[in-house]
Amino acid sequence: MKKNCVYVVAGLGLAQLALLSTAARAQDTARVLQDVVITATKANQKQSQTGKVTTVITRQELERSSGKSVAQLLSEQAGIVINGANANPGLNKSVYMRGADNKHTLILLDGVLIFDPSNVGGAFDLRLLSVDQIDHIEILRGGQSTLYGSDAVAGVINIITKKDGTPTPGVNGVASAGSYGTVKGNIGLTAQVKNLSYNINYSHERSDGVSEAAQPATATSFYDKDGYSQDAVNAQFGIKITDKFKINPFVRFLQGKYNYDDGGYADGGSYFTSKHLNLGTNATYNTGKGLFNFNYSYENTDRSYVSPQYGASPYTGRLNFAELYYNHQITDHIKILGGIDNRNSRINAGGTARVDSSANLLGAYASVFLNDIGSFFNLEAGGRYSHHTKFGDNWTSSFTPSFNIIQDDKLKIFWTASTSFKAPDLSALYGQFGPNPALQPEKSREYEAGFSTSPVKQFNLRVDVYQRKVTNAIVYLYPQGYINQDKQDVKGIEVEPSATVGIFTLKGYYNYFEGKAISKNAAGAASELDYLYRRPGHTFGLFAGAQVSSKFYASLNYRHYSQRYDSFYNSATFATELQSLKGYGLLDGYAEYNLVGKKLKVFADVKNILNAKYAELYGYTALGTNFNAGLSFNIR
């Protein structure tokens, strides 16, 4: 049965490829994203020059996503599953890139680490970001610890905020409303005055929501709705000191209040508040042959969980991050990169046992980039040394060659061998529940290989396979607490075609993922699972957009997720039960119409058009058919 499922879904993927490749012969248009510069490589490489597997969510795509959350938008990308993306907005959002754990994907904001030391795993809360404040998003798959250190085991998501500064002052904004009493609004001011530019955005969202917990048939009363509200301010400035020296300070403040329930099928009246302050600066100095980059970021996150039964439990996380790196162009084809960074983390948690602890992670790294050697060979290779105040030293490396077998991007093959690590977070080292100061870092070794081809200019296809082995995985076992114990073995394949045909843009993906975990229980008995919780083995997607006229655009987006498993704590039996979640498909639609050139447009976004009944997490609610409609404007 399992093999039949593999064959069926693989067949769908091949049919998708045939459809796109046939349609791609229709006309000659520009290649998709081949000349886009990927800043997250720290070498500002064109996408066609790197052997790393990258995806760029463009500004145009984001402008057509005002009705979505950041989590929903990311969950539409190949190789990424975000549990809770389509559940109640207040529910935690867990990023599973290539089947890796949530804590194994590093989030950057404008190329700078964004991190919450007080959160489990240190993962940043995606709920605090608004789509309307983002310019574009870069996704780098695979181990990236050589460039970014801890946490970049599965990949990096670099979220680039809006920074438009033009001599003509501008005002832009979005206002929309939709299902569940949801209201969203954003307004931005942008201008450039001589050597000073600025971009200031404010956004507000609120919703009545739905019950976070699914309501069982045996419930004697209706579960209440779990709404949310959040506000965000993002201020970016650019100061041109000289033609070579520029400073770009920023200030961000985000806050939200989210209602949540007591668990799967368990209603509750709890809520939590979150306040996040992030300020710092980026500075660049161009030497002519090279570029110095300096980044400094300070983050303070205050969260408080308030329960009718237990009262308030406050958490504070602080991060000071500083980085200096230098790019030097030796020749037209050879570039070197060297840098040093330091992240100092601190947590302060109240409750039954007060916690106030900190840790420091220092890193130094170097890489070499060879581009278009002999007009066909590219190479990225590098290494990093890290020193943690608790576990000591760690080394990682990365080696990525790629070959342009047929010029003009008609056929490129690539492969990567990399090592990565995840430092134990402060909650696991010193927290309130089962801390273990003797924890060692989780370590990963990953291999991937693939090819991309663009036989005609309007068609592109990428296929890659990967394997990742994680050792020393940090898990929590009762009553032991946190220990280094699990081993994970993961492998998968990604197929991602895209084409432009006349007025149509077609994109698709198929992902196959297989993972197993080897672990020991509290009694020391070993067990092996041939799956990983909450991660589907197959995902399949197809997107079709049509620029019907200069004013009207419409699109449909279908995604399918296969069966997955979840664990559920049954409070009646005091036992953890294995639950199977059935596969499901989601069909979304979007349309926009420009009323005054590109200065004013109206849009409508409908999600889960077919009203599929499904669950992303066992015992929790998934949203039925819902919509968001509004208008956006851009006045200069």
**Which pLDDT score is estimated for 16?**
44
Out of 214-223, 496-505, 542-551, which region has the weakest mean confidence (pLDDT)? 214-223
Q: What mean pLDDT is predicted for residues 172-193?
A: 93
**Which pLDDT score is estimated for 34?**
53
Pick from 617, 596, 619, 593: nearest CA to 604: 593
**Which pLDDT score is estimated for 351?**
55
CA distance 276 to 337: 32
**Which pLDDT score is estimated for 1?**
40
Pick from 32, 72, 39, 42: nearest CA to 622: 72
Confidence band, pLDDT 50/70/90 cuts, at residue 221: confident
Q: What mean pLDDT is predicted for residues 470-482?
A: 87
Query: Is it the case that residue 30 has pLDDT exceeding 80?
Result: no
Confidence band, pLDDT 50/70/90 cuts, at residue 165: low
CA distance 504 to 247: 41
- pLDDT tens-digit map of 509-562: 999 999 988 887 666 677 888 778 899 999 999 999 999 999 999 999 999 999
Query: Is it the case that residue 504 has pLDDT exceeding 70?
Result: yes
Q: Exposed, middle or buried, 476 (CB in 10 Å: 0-12/13-18/19+)?
A: middle
Out of 38-47, 367-376, 414-423, 435-444, which region has the weakest mean confidence (pLDDT)? 38-47
**Which pLDDT score is estimated for 522?**
63
Q: What mean pLDDT is predicted for residues 312-334?
A: 93
Percent of the chain with pLDDT strictly greater than 90: 61
Q: Exposed, middle or buried, 329 (CB in 10 Å: 0-12/13-18/19+)?
A: middle
What is the DSSP code (8-state) at residue 339?
A: E
- pLDDT tens-digit map of 137-160: 999 999 999 999 999 999 999 999
Beta bridge partners, 230, equal 205, 256
**Which pLDDT score is estimated for 354?**
61
Confidence band, pLDDT 50/70/90 cuts, at residue 432: confident
What is the DSSP code (8-state) at residue 217?
A: T
β-strand 334-349 against 311-329: which pairing, if any? antiparallel
Sheet containing 112-113, strands listed edge to edge, beginning at the edge strand earlier in sequence: 54-57, 134-141, 155-161, 105-109, 112-113
Q: Are the C-beta atoms of 176 and 125 separated by less than 8 Å?
A: no
**Which pLDDT score is estimated for 631?**
95
Nearest-5° Cα angle at 308, 306 to 313: 30
**Which pLDDT score is estimated for 32?**
44
CA distance 231 to 205: 7
Query: Is it the case that residue 275 has pLDDT exceeding 50?
Result: yes
**Which pLDDT score is estimated for 66?**
82
Find how far residue 58's CA is from the centre of its chain: 14
- pLDDT tens-digit map of 390-417: 899 999 999 999 999 988 778 999 999 9
Residue whose tokens read 């093999």: 3
Query: Is it the case that residue 67 has pLDDT exceeding 90?
Result: no
CA distance 240 to 110: 18
Query: Is it the case that residue 3 has pLDDT exceeding 50?
Result: no
Query: Is it the case that residue 309 has pLDDT exceeding 60?
Result: yes
The top-scoring range by mean pLDDT among 172-176, 309-313, 595-599 is: 172-176
Q: What mean pLDDT is predicted for residues 214-219?
A: 88
* Domains parsed from the chain with CATH numbers: 2-635 (2.40.170.20)
CA distance 337 to 347: 33
CA distance 201 to 257: 20
CA distance 182 to 161: 24
Q: What mean pLDDT is predicted for residues 55-62?
A: 90
**Which pLDDT score is estimated for 10?**
41
Confidence band, pLDDT 50/70/90 cuts, at residue 18: very low
Beta bridge partners, 339, equal 325, 365
- pLDDT tens-digit map of 592-616: 999 987 789 999 999 999 999 999 9
Q: For the chain, give the mean pLDDT.
A: 88
Q: What mean pLDDT is predicted for residues 254-268?
A: 91
**Which pLDDT score is estimated for 297?**
96
Q: What mean pLDDT is predicted for residues 618-626?
A: 93
Using DSSP's 3-state secondary structure scheme, residue 158 falls into strand
Per-residue CA distances from 480 to 433, 485, 574 (Å): 10, 12, 18
Count of Cβ atoms closer than 10 Å to residue 356 Cβ: 11
**Which pLDDT score is estimated for 24?**
40
Q: What mean pLDDT is predicted for residues 36-58?
A: 83
